[in-house]
Amino acid sequence: MKLLLKGGRIVDPSQDIDETLDLLIEDGLIARIAPNLPTPEVGRDSGTAVVDLEGKTIVPGLLDMHTHLREPGHEYKETILSGTAAALAGGFTAVACMANTSPVNDNSSVTDFILRKAARADLARVYPVAAVSRNLEGEILTEFSDLKDAGAVALSDDGNPVATAGLMRRALEYAYSLSLPVISHCEDRSLTEGGAMNEGFVSTELGLPGIPAIAEDIMAARDIAIAEYTGTRVHIAHVSTAATVELVRDAKRRGIAVTAETAPHYFTLTDEALRSYSTDLKVYPPIRGSEDRDAVIGGLRDGTIDVIASDHAPHSSIEKDVEFAYAATGLIGLETSLALSLAMVEQGVISIGRLVEAMSVNPARILGVPGGTLRTGTAADVTVIDTTRAWTVDKNAFRSLSRNCPFHGRRLTGKALMTIVGGIIKYREDAKPL
Amino acid sequence: MVTENSKRIVMDAERIDRSIARIAYEILEDNKGADDLVIIAVRSGGIMLSRRIRKKIADIEGVVIPMGILDITLYRDDVIMTDKKPKMGETDIPFCLNDKKIILVDDVIFTGRTIRAAMDALIDFGRPRVIRLAVLVDRGHREIPIRPDYVGEKLPSSLWENVNVILSESGGDDEVVIL
Amino acid sequence: MELTRKDILGLSDFSVDEINLVLDTAESFREISTRTIKKVPTLRGITVINLFYEASTRTHTSFEIAAKRLSADAINISTSTSSVTKGETLADTAKTLEAMSPDIIVIRHACAGAPHILARLLGQSIINAGDGSHEHPTQALLDMLTIRQKKGTIEGLKVVLVGDIMNSRVARSNMYGLTRMGARVTVCGPAMLIPRGVEGMGVTVETNMQKALQDADVVMMLRMQFERQQGAVFPSVREYARLFCLTVPMLKEAKEDAIVMHPGPINRGIEIAPEVADGFRSVILDQVTNGVAVRMALLYLLAGGRQ
Ligand SMILES: [Zn+2]
């Protein structure tokens, strides 16, 4: 079985490629990238499917390193099947899923369960992130080595901060010795308790309890200091504040092994949007003011922020059709992340090459998983994008089981046309949904 | 068609004054004097007319009878059928209405709905012995069975015409016009 | 002039004309409450649901009296817990209410924005009777009516709001309304209870009460809600009273003819001394009377027309 993608613009920063070339996939691997590969004659070499992709963009498969697939435990919000279907529709060939399921992914049997479910779904690749502490309680470390052997690619108590500096120190040291990255959800709970949105003028006007930016900054500073002191590394999840961007920028300048990610809502929205009291906008970290938003964009621009991840956090209407204070935290993003990120390209903030780094190359590198490249001989995980396709977000058409999308009704430009995993076309924009 | 030019004066100052005098006499005659008489003006058309009638009665009888002002907005039967709420005025009835003989005064009677509302309102202020109605102009077209006791002038008008009573403080420029 | 809005959710977007319309209408309604028969038939057939998720004898009663004096049918639903604890979402509650076909829903809720959610889901008029720490528009309107009665105007007055500004919906609605009407508003309270960026609402911040009261025409004390504060926000009630209780000597800092207001219920001896609360400069009882008139005015202005 061969697949020949003809005439597309191939953007692969891992090989410094950005030109119109043909790409041949054979036996699930990237076989050749070259100009004008011969189109097999009809009837003779019928084992080759040919797709004309003139005007389209071909990139290494996108990897979303921060999602919540909700299985096991909250299957009414999302399942591994529905979540990976949503990933494919959003152009992602792989996702890393956080550990705050029920039960928590804090032991190898849960990791194993997730991987078996993912294999059965056979859609996007799934990379489990295991918990740092047992039951995310911040007291006892999980068995990092056993979890790694079961298939966990990283560690995070995401949803919760790693409560104490002491535990974080030991986690970073131990994980580093096992070559596992630790993903830090930065939140000082003593400053965020009861909070519902970003603290500032808008929260004052709306009378909603505020979450100050320093709740994130203080923890980011703590974790960077620990990484520096111990000579280990840390990945800062969902950066949303100007000060955290600056902390990361400064840490990188000083040679500390810190990487950082942000999510599309942090560079797209400001807290002014909260005036609707729409609970789909309730998320942690909260959507910040315009200065923070601009700083996040600045961090993307100069590479301080390595990764764009969705922080896809499905919740059902039971958790969202309620008063703002009672609403669950999180929004879904798998099916809108690409288009919202392409807007950064459109606005000249980043190049398409930088976008591919942030959504494919860097996440693969940070997690230490395959992918992020179209190098010959590697698995053919490929995303084909129409960067000019305009569409209207319709949350009711999503593959995700949940509808907590604040971008419903928004006009966006750019869409995944085809998502190829291991050489197999798992998603085609024009095909009927799975 | 109603145009600017179609304004027509149907009562002049002198005729108005004669009508008011006649109404005052009729009231006093019916009530055999001014005992227990009170005037209630329907805001806002009835206020000036009430003052004139009161003054006339004072001239004739030498008694200044009490006068109150009633705003009927909250008693109108169409008030919640519209978004555009009529502007409310103050109701000022500084005396008790129990066992009083009320002369309810409005400038023009038309469908009768205003007077219906006014009577409902009056009942909420007490139990008068009688309520009688005085108007300067009766233009017909009643929609409910209400009949004035004292009428200055019957002026049949078409439904789409407007009858305006203009009474000034001095009395010099008074007129009733049909627009 | 008419009120074209469907709902009264807050004063943040109320125009000067709208505020004046409500105050003028309320002024006319005050007379009704002085009659022997304190009832007019205006809103016969109109159903008002008073949906109170938070206990409030004062506001609840005021709305009920307002509806009844206008002959509306008032139905009271009180529940101390949120719908969410019953496994019912606010959307479910909205649908249930809609099935009862009310014309106006008055809602008091501990969560900011709850009335806004109802207003989005329902065609009926929603009146916010206080949502969390957000707004309490009818309270601010009755406060403004009281100030206008006592001072003749609102424009140019110095009004000082004292207390827990951060958690006060009364403060927020008054800040919007009073600044829009041209008053100079100073907010005063413990530094940690002054919300971030509040100067952006056009008010002056002063944490020293003596200084705040200089030249004040109106002193509006807020209820100190120690029960609403989680954890150790302020050291103690005693310490609070030391700094922010409106005592007779403290009131001397304000203008000689300054009036004293309080939305009630009063914590005597904590935010206001009994001699001041009951003193001749206190207009607290006028506020209560005006509350009924303002709520009658709003029910009247909102009712009908949209069927
Ligand atoms: Zn997180």
Cα separation, A402 vs A335, in Å, equals 12
Strand order in the sheet with B175-178: B8-11, B175-178, B163-166
Q: Which CATH superfamily is domain A61-367 in?
A: Metal-dependent hydrolases (3.20.20.140)
B touches C, CB cut-off 8 Å, minimum 3 pairs: yes
Percent of chain B with pLDDT over 70: 94
**Beta strands A411-421 and A382-392: pairing type?**
antiparallel
Dihedral of CA atoms A273, A276, A281, A284 in degrees, nearest 10, equals 80
Q: At what angle do helices A290-301 and A242-253 cross, to 10 degrees?
A: 30
CB atoms within 10 A of CB A76: 14
Cβ(B72)–Cβ(B116) below 8 Å: no
CB atoms A323 and C200 under 8 Å: no
Tell me which chain A residues have a C-beta less than 8 angstroms from the C-beta of C231.
193
CB atoms C28 and B124 under 8 Å: no
pLDDT (tens digit, 9 = 90+) per residue, C9-35?
A: 999 999 999 999 999 999 988 888 888
Model pTM score? 0.88
Cβ(C117)–Cβ(A277) below 8 Å: yes
Query: Stretch B104-132: mean pLDDT, rounded?
Result: 92
A311 is catalytic: yes
Could you tell me how far CA A83 lies from the centroid of its own chain? 12
CB atoms B89 and C28 under 8 Å: yes
User: Model confidence at A43, in pLDDT bands (50, 70, 90)?
Assistant: low
Output the average pLDDT for chain A.
95
Interface test with A, best of C11, C108, C168, C196 (most A CBs within 10 A): C196
Instruction: Mention every residue, 6+ apart, whose C-beta is less than 8 A from residue A156.
Output: A98, A99, A129, A130, A131, A132, A182, A183, A184, A185, A237
C198: β partners: none
Query: In this model, does residue A327 exceed pLDDT 70?
Result: yes
Cα separation, A78 vs A96, in Å, equals 14
Tell me which chain A residues have a C-beta less than 8 angstroms from the C-beta of C135.
207
CB atoms B82 and C29 under 8 Å: no
Give the residue with greater pLDDT, B16 vs C85: B16
Query: Stretch A31-37: mean pLDDT, rounded?
Result: 92
Helix (H, G, I), strand (E, B) or coil at A6: strand
Q: Is A391 on the interface with C (CB under 8 A)?
A: no
Interface test with C, best of B78, B85, B91 (most C CBs within 10 A): B85
Tokens of A54: 């003139």
For Cα atoms A180, A352, A280, give the angle at the middle one, nearest 5 degrees. 70
Taking each continuous run of H as one helix and of E as one strand, the counts in chain B are 3, 8
CB-nearest partner of C40 from B75, B82, B126:
B75
Could you tell me how far CA C111 lies from the centroid of its own chain? 16
The CATH number of the domain covering residues in A2-58+378-387+403-428: 2.30.40.10
Nearest CA in chain B to C28: B90
pLDDT (tens digit, 9 = 90+) per residue, A136-152?
A: 999 999 999 999 999 99
Cβ(B47)–Cβ(C269) below 8 Å: no
For Cα atoms C82, C88, C90, give the angle at the middle one, nearest 5 degrees. 65
B57 burial via Cβ count (<10 Å: 0-12, 13-18, 19+): buried
Gyration radius of chain A's alpha carbons: 21
Helices (H), A68-213: 80-89, 108-121, 144-150, 165-177, 189-192, 201-206
Cβ(A254)–Cβ(A228) below 8 Å: yes
The confidence score (pLDDT) of residue C93 equals 81
Percent of chain A with pLDDT over 70: 98
Query: Stretch C223-240: mean pLDDT, rounded?
Result: 75
Tell me which chain B residues have a C-beta less than 8 angstroms from the C-beta of C46.
80
CB-nearest partner of C300 from B85, B90, B91:
B85
CB-nearest partner of C112 from A276, A322, A324:
A324
| Closest C-alpha to C245, from C265, C219, C284 | C219
Output the average pLDDT for chain B.
87
User: Model confidence at C86, in pLDDT bands (50, 70, 90)?
Assistant: low
Distance C304 CA to ligand 1 centre (A): 48
Distance between terminal CA atoms of chain B? Answer: 10
Query: In this model, does residue C84 exceed pLDDT 70?
Result: no
Q: Is C35 on the interface with B (CB under 8 A)?
A: yes
Cα separation, C130 vs C136, in Å, equals 4
| Closest C-alpha to B179, from B43, B51, B7, B16 | B7
C77 burial via Cβ count (<10 Å: 0-12, 13-18, 19+): middle
Cα separation, A402 vs C45, in Å, equals 42
Tell me which chain B residues have a C-beta less than 8 angstroms from the C-beta of C301.
85
Distance A296 CA to ligand 1 centre (A): 16
| Closest C-alpha to A244, from A227, A264, A224, A269 | A224
Characterize C116-132 residue by residue with b for buried, 16 or more Cβ atoms within 10 angstroms of its Cβ, and e for exposed: bbbbebbebbbbbbbbb
Q: Which 8-state DSSP code applies to residue A357? A: I
CB-nearest partner of A210 from C84, C91, C196:
C196
The confidence score (pLDDT) of residue A405 equals 97
The confidence score (pLDDT) of residue C81 equals 55
CB-nearest partner of C28 from B80, B83, B90:
B90
Residue that the structure tokens 């613009």 belong to: A9
Output the average pLDDT for chain C.
91
Tell me which chain C residues have a C-beta less than 8 angstroms from the C-beta of A276.
116
* Residues measured by CB to lie within 5 Å of ligand 1, the ion: A 158, 185
User: Model confidence at A46, in pLDDT bands (50, 70, 90)?
Assistant: low
User: Model confidence at A321, in pLDDT bands (50, 70, 90)?
Assistant: confident
pLDDT (tens digit, 9 = 90+) per residue, C93-147?
A: 888 888 888 999 999 999 999 999 899 889 999 999 999 999 999 999 999 999 9
Query: In this model, does residue B2 exceed pLDDT 50?
Result: no
| Closest C-alpha to A291, from A403, A189, A421, A202 | A202
Cα separation, A328 vs A341, in Å, equals 25
Q: Compute the count of residue pairs across chains A and C with CB atoms less than 8 Å apart.
A: 77
Distance A159 CA to ligand 1 centre (A): 5
Helices (H), A151-279: 165-177, 189-192, 201-206, 214-230, 242-253, 264-268
Instruction: Mention every residue, 6+ apart, whose C-beta is less than 8 A from residue C112.
Output: A196, A206, A207, A208, A277, A324, A325, C131, C132, C133, C134
The confidence score (pLDDT) of residue B34 equals 87
Tell me which chain B residues have a C-beta less than 8 angstroms from the C-beta of C24.
87
Cβ(A102)–Cβ(A350) below 8 Å: no
User: Model confidence at B8, in pLDDT bands (50, 70, 90)?
Assistant: confident
CB-nearest partner of C134 from A200, A201, A207:
A207
**All structural domains of chain B with their residue ranges:** 14-161
Cα separation, A176 vs A234, in Å, equals 9
Contacting chains of B (3 CB pairs or more, <8 Å) are C
Query: Stretch A413-430: mean pLDDT, rounded?
Result: 94
| Closest C-alpha to C141, from C3, C303, C282 | C3
Distance A346 CA to ligand 1 centre (A): 28
User: Model confidence at B170, in pLDDT bands (50, 70, 90)?
Assistant: low
Cα separation, A372 vs A361, in Å, equals 4
**All structural domains of chain A with their residue ranges:** 2-58+378-387+403-428, 61-367
Query: In this model, does residue C227 exceed pLDDT 70?
Result: no
Residues counted in chain C: 307
The confidence score (pLDDT) of residue A192 equals 95
The beta-strand segments (E) located in A13-148 are 17-26, 29-34, 48-52, 57-60, 62-67, 92-97, 125-130
CB atoms C132 and A207 under 8 Å: yes
Tell me which chain B residues have a C-beta less than 8 angstroms from the C-beta of C2.
83-85
Distance between terminal CA atoms of chain A? Answer: 22
Characterize C54-68 residue by residue with b for buried, 16 or more Cβ atoms within 10 angstroms of its Cβ, and e for exposed: bebeebbebbbbbbb
The topology under which CATH files domain B14-161 is: Rossmann fold (3.40.50)
Tell me which chain C residues have a C-beta less than 8 angstroms from the C-beta of B88.
25, 28-29
Q: With a CB-CB cutoff of 8 Å, which residues 65-124 of chain B face chain C?
A: 71, 74-75, 79-85, 87-92, 120-121, 124
Query: In this model, does residue A433 exceed pLDDT 80?
Result: no
Query: In this model, does residue A313 exceed pLDDT 60?
Result: yes
Cα separation, A368 vs A373, in Å, equals 13
CB atoms C40 and B81 under 8 Å: no
The confidence score (pLDDT) of residue A78 equals 97
Cα separation, C8 vs C27, in Å, equals 19
| Closest C-alpha to C287, from C221, C215, C204 | C221
Distance A276 CA to ligand 1 centre (A): 24
Element (H, E) at C106: strand C104-109
Strand order in the sheet with C259-261: C204-205, C184-188, C158-162, C218-221, C259-261
pLDDT (tens digit, 9 = 90+) per residue, B25-47?
A: 999 999 998 899 999 999 888 99
CA distances for A373 relative to A29, A51, A84, A265, A415, angstroms: 11, 20, 20, 26, 20
CB atoms C304 and B81 under 8 Å: yes
Distance A68 CA to ligand 1 centre (A): 10
Q: Point out the least confidently predicted range of A60-74, A346-360, B113-127, C200-214.
A: B113-127
| Closest C-alpha to B146, from B131, B157, B158 | B131
Cα separation, B26 vs C188, in Å, equals 68
Tokens of A102: 């029920």
Percent of chain A with pLDDT over 90: 93
| Closest C-alpha to C75, from C108, C107, C111, C51 | C51
Q: Point out the least confidently predicted range of A175-184, B12-21, C168-177.
A: B12-21
Cα separation, A193 vs B24, in Å, equals 78
Q: Is A424 on the interface with C (CB under 8 A)?
A: no
The active-site residue out of A106, A311, A381, A386 is: A311
Residues of C within an 8 Å Cβ radius of A: 12, 82-84, 89-91, 109-114, 116-117, 131-135, 169, 172, 195-198, 200-201, 230-231
Highest mean pLDDT among A30-44, A173-187, C107-121 belongs to: A173-187
Q: DSSP string covering B81-125, please? A: G-SSPPPP---B--S--TT-EEEEEEEEESSSHHHHHHHHHHHHT
Helix (H, G, I), strand (E, B) or coil at C122: coil
pLDDT (tens digit, 9 = 90+) per residue, C245-296?
A: 999 999 999 999 999 999 988 988 899 999 999 999 999 999 999 999 999 9
CB-nearest partner of C200 from A201, A207, A321:
A201
Tokens of B135: 């108007």
Phi, psi for residue C157 in degrees, rounded to 5: -75, 150
- How far B83 CA lies from chain C's nearest CA (Å)? 4
The confidence score (pLDDT) of residue B1 equals 44
- The single-letter code of the amino acid at A174 is Y
pLDDT (tens digit, 9 = 90+) per residue, A249-302?
A: 999 999 999 999 999 999 999 999 999 999 999 999 999 999 999 999 999 999
pLDDT (tens digit, 9 = 90+) per residue, A197-251?
A: 999 999 999 999 999 999 999 999 999 999 999 999 999 999 999 999 999 999 9
Query: Stretch A118-129: mean pLDDT, rounded?
Result: 97
Cβ(A112)–Cβ(A152) below 8 Å: no
Q: At what angle do helices A80-89 and A108-121 cross, to 10 degrees?
A: 60
Tell me which chain B residues have a C-beta less than 8 angstroms from the C-beta of C303.
80
